Structure 1
């Protein structure tokens, strides 16, 4: 069965008109992957800064030991998560590079 290119273009244009209304808002990404990574990196940095602040407060006697331990544990968990995500991204990149062209 032969397909006429003119008929295919006509059908495509009809489908585009039917589905074209309101697609801009639906297809527009709310944030880019780069923005998301930047936000996560900022949160990780803030977690480390909070741990440093709590440690400094404990040294001068302004913070409880439990608060310091909680802040440092949170920073450590955040760092482990960042490292795990980095490792997965690197593994995915290496797998893509191994794919035959």
Structure 2
């Protein structure tokens, strides 16, 4: 899937010049948190999701859990793991691009 980032930026710029505001495009306040604390919270949430999936799986093995809840928890854990893996790949790719920049 090819994305045209220039087209998206131009469309966003046109919308702002027209004075329009679409839901979800307004500025968001991060509550004064810096980037590292935002990453830390995201990592903690991801770890919590993974732990919940493990907990549900253990309860299912003991016969003390609803299989629907187990399936949902394991599915969420799988999506979280996929997202974390994709983000890791993007960070490594960005780091490699920075290393290739001429000084």
Q: Shorter-chain-normalised TM-score: which range?
A: 0.5 to 0.7
Count of matched residue positions in the alignment of Structure 1 and Structure 2: 73
- Counterpart of 1:30? 32
- How high is the TM-score relative to the length of structure 2? 0.66
State the match for 1:82 in structure 2.
Answer: 84
Q: Identify the residue that residue 61 of structure 1 maps to in structure 2.
A: 63
Task: From the CA coordinates, give the structure whose radius of gyration is larger.
Answer: 1
Deviation at 1:36, TM superposition (A): 1.0
1:52 and 2:54 aligned: yes
User: Structure 1 length as normaliser, TM-score?
Assistant: 0.67
1:24 maps to which residue? none
1:87 and 1:74 mapped to 2: Cα distance?
20
Task: For structure 1, list consecutive stretches of 5 or more residues without a partner in the other structure.
Answer: 1-28
Q: Aligned partners of 2:69 and 2:55: how far apart in 1?
A: 11
**Aligned twin of 1:4:** none
Query: Stretches of 4+ moved more than 3 A in 1?
Result: none
